[in-house]
Structure 1
Amino acid sequence: MWRRVFTTVWTYLRRSPLTFIWLAVLLATTSVQHAVSPQFLDAILVHRSTNIDQLTTDPLRVIVMSLWWLDGGGDAAYWFPYAISYVIFHAPAERWLGSFRWLAIGFTGHVIATFVSEGALALAIRDGIANGSMRDTQDVGVSYFLATIVAVLTYHIARPWRWAYLAGVLVSYAVPLLVAPTFTALGHFSSVLIGLACYPVVRGKTDDQWDPAVTVRRLIRRWRHSSPEVSPVRRAC
């Protein structure tokens, strides 16, 4: 039994390798965040942040390095929700699109949304709407990449479920921007729009769609076949 479990898990991991390698690196950096002093941690994260100052001086380095850290992460408990989201969104997307296309779409969303949000912040600072100290604020994390992939997965879901999923995605990211607009919320919503705009990139993959109804029917059939049959009990005459 354990051999079968190991084989199943290994097959699942092997089909989306970059997702789980990235997740392992995030666990390692989260452990580092927990181990070092707050002062040293601030120094680490500021130099890996996609803030205005760092984007002005060394944009490529911070855009890449910011993806290896979780904003606010200090222990494995903070990492665990990200692990769940990677399994739910990134792993299926990488299997569906292939590692290269998945990485290209997510990274494009990360880059463009970063410049949209930080560009809006720079304009707000110039116009006196935002405080100038926000130029070097701590800004790391994987959420723009994730939001882009969450959005592009819309095209992997069969109709009519696709429209319910799309509505959920738009509401989840638009409401925070409307209720409490921040530059991060703008970046997240921009990521969603970028993911949806990637339809021409994934158009060749749209025949491979996931139908929740089919999945549920398969699970029910599997459960019925695995359930022990109960022999009917005859009444004595």
Structure 2
Amino acid sequence: MTPSLAAPARRAGNWVRDWVRSTPGTHIWLLIIGITSLVIASASEGLEQFLLHRTSSNIHELNEHPLPSLLISGFWIEQPGSFLLYAVMFELVHANVERWMGSWRWLLTVGAAHVAATLASQELVLLAIEGHQLPRSMTHVVDIGVSYGLAAAAGVLTYRLPPPWRYGYLVGLLAFFGVPLATGATFTDFGHAIALTMGLACWPLTPAARVGPGDVATGDDDGDGAGAPPPSGRRQE
């Protein structure tokens, strides 16, 4: 490598290293999803279906293995080909929120939203089954993925943006999640709405809630090193 290219490459490498170090939760989560996606992509059709159903947080699994199913379901995506899209979303949304709020507050926000949205959406499925609006086979529906956590992080990211960008972002966010909810909503759309609402309700956990009206909240203040970031029947995710 020529000297003229060595310095920019070194700066880029340092930037990437600092970015990953300041957002460990996001990148560990993304690494695990990458591994599970490779497992799904290389599995036979029978094994794939077994894994998707066994790791789902559906009614059957919640009754049989409540805690493991809630945890494990957040580390799988149904379509391995979507991994690159999720990688981009993790960098844009999760990494920025984790770096801004700090890892523990970020984890509390997305973890609570994932659990609450999963339980509430599956309760909706159970009520629909009991009301004969859905078949009993829906107790085994594939319900895996990371979109509930993403919806919560996208919600709390609203407070990271300065006005007037904040308001335009919020309108777009409400439209993105609200239109499916208002037009033939599935249980997943219902879960997304809950997760988004929880993210928006996490204002007290953000640095913006701990500064004065005239100040700009640009980083984390809890000492974990996360400061301002650098210049249909299935749950489909």
Bin for the TM-score computed over the shorter chain: 0.7 to 0.9
Task: Give the secondary structure class of the aligned counterpart of 2:129.
Answer: helix
Aligned to 2:117: 113
CA contact (8 A) 1:23 1:86 kept: yes
CA contact (8 A) 2:126 2:139 kept: yes
User: In terms of mean alpha carbon deviation, does 102-111 or 17-26 score higher?
Assistant: 17-26
Aligned to 2:40: 33
If asked which structure has higher relative contact order (CA below 8 Å, sep 6+), I would say 2
How many residue pairs get matched? 208
Aligned to 1:131: 135
Instruction: Give the superposed CA RMSD.
Output: 1.6
> Counterparts in 2 of 1:88-99, with a 5 A limit?
88-99=92-103
Aligned to 2:61: 54
Question: TM-score by structure 2 length?
Answer: 0.84
What is the one-letter code of the residue matched to 2:125? L
User: Partners of 2:124 and 2:101 in 1: how far apart?
Assistant: 32
**Runs in 1 of length 4+ with deviation above 3 angstroms?**
none
Identity %: 36
Structure 1 residue 102 and structure 2 residue 106: aligned? yes
Per-residue deviation, residues 37-79 of structure 1 (Å, max 9, x unmatched)? 0111111121110101111121110110011111232xxx420
Shift of 1:157: 1.1
Please point out which of 183, 187, 193 is paired with 1:189. Answer: 193
Shift of 1:209: 4.9
Per-residue deviation, residues 156-195 of structure 1 (Å, max 9, x unmatched)? 1112211111111110000011122100111011111111
User: Partners of 1:155 and 1:4 in 2: how far apart?
Assistant: 30
Shift of 1:205: 6.7
Question: TM-score by structure 1 length?
Answer: 0.84
Aligned to 2:24: 17
What is the one-letter code of the residue matched to 1:79? F
Aligned to 1:225: none
Unaligned runs of 5+ in 1: 211-218, 220-237
User: Partners of 2:183 and 2:130 in 1: how far apart?
Assistant: 24
